[in-house]
Amino acid sequence: MDDRTALESLLRRDRWLVGGALAVTIALCWACIVPMARDMYGAMTGPAAWMMTRRWDFAHVLLLFAMWVVMMAGMMLPSAAPTLFLYAGVIRKSPEGDRVPAHVYAFAGGYLLVWTAFSLVATVLQRELSNLVLLTPMMEARDRAVGGALLIVAGLYQLTPFKRTCLESCRSPAEFIVRHWRRGAAGGFHLGLAHGAYCLGCCWALMLLLFVGGVMNLWWIGALTALVLIEKLAPLGAQGGRLSGLVMVAMGLWDLA
């Protein structure tokens, strides 16, 4: 009886450590995003004031990169939560069950590393678009034709077999874990990289739509976050993703027309 009680206490502690760390990370990301986004469309004298610079030196580009990293973590971690909790449950039942948090943190680290790499690409792309005067100071497409083209690209990608394959992997975490399983914390990191790669393959085009509605437009960020959650977690998410693709193509054609 004492052994079972001790085991139950250990499991509860692990759930608190994993769930608490995930909740705190997501909350901190949004605590950075929301004030910056509100200031961006306000006086721009607070958290977003640094964006007013006319000279994009290394320090300002680094701040822009950090903004993308925080935004991607805040937007993508909620949809990865079920896979993280399922992985934690698998580790609890394995011979390494006494090191659940270390494995899950390694998994999350690998996952976030993939989105950090995407953030670097997005930072470079944003600076290039700005240099070509294709973005407004509010970080959205200056020309409706550019926004329309991005909508069409994202919409068509929603309909591709590659998108469907990546989405199926994200929607089937148990199958994904079995297929890519490796032991140890290093194995957890590898799993995180693999899951992040599938997630990136699923969502990269949607994230580019931030340049359409505004990189720091809070409503647009929330809408894309909700779309990702619906695609990955809702019962008819896969069908909804294809429907959203058709809507994006229609909106893009409207902008081009």
Residues contacting residue 181 through CB under 8 Å, at least 6 positions apart: 187, 191
pLDDT per position as a tens digit, 60-83: 999 999 999 999 999 999 999 989
Residues 199, 166 contacting (CB under 8 angstroms): yes
Note the pTM of the prediction, 2 decimals: 0.90
User: Nearest 5°: CA angle at 161, between 157 and 165?
Assistant: 105
Q: In which element (H, E) is residue 163 found?
A: helix 161-171
Tell whether the model's pLDDT for residue 210 goes beyond 80. Answer: yes
Q: What is d(CA 137, CA 125) in angstroms, rounded to the nearest whole number?
A: 15
Tell whether the model's pLDDT for residue 11 goes beyond 60. Answer: no
Long-range contact pairs involving 202-206 (C-beta distance under 8 Å, separation at least 24): 202/163, 202/166, 202/167, 202/169, 202/170, 202/231, 202/232, 203/76, 203/228, 204/118, 205/153, 205/154, 205/157, 205/158, 205/163, 206/154
Tell whether the model's pLDDT for residue 254 goes beyond 50. Answer: yes
6 band by pLDDT with thresholds 50, 70 and 90: very low
Residues 150, 251 contacting (CB under 8 angstroms): no
What domain count does the chain have? 1
Residues 205, 154 contacting (CB under 8 angstroms): yes
Counting Cα atoms < 13 Å in the Cβ hemisphere of 248 gives 26
Distance of CA 243 to the CA centre of its chain: 21
Q: Which residues of 207-237 are buried (b: 16+ CB within 10 A; e: fewer)?
A: bbbbbbbbbbbbebbeebbebbbbbbeeeeb
User: What are the Cα distances from residue 244, in Å, to 61, 95, 149?
Assistant: 33, 43, 16
> Is 88 or 190 the better-scoring residue by pLDDT?
190
pLDDT per position as a tens digit, 81-127: 989 988 988 888 877 766 788 889 999 999 999 999 999 999 999 99
Q: What percent of the chain has pLDDT over 70?
A: 93
User: What's residue 8's pLDDT?
Assistant: 46
Mean pLDDT over all residues of the chain?
Answer: 89
Longest dimension (CA), the chain: 72
42 band by pLDDT with thresholds 50, 70 and 90: confident
CB atoms near residue 37 (< 10 Å): 23
Q: 208: domain range? A: 2-256
The dihedrals phi and psi of 181, each to the nearest 5 degrees, come to -60, 135
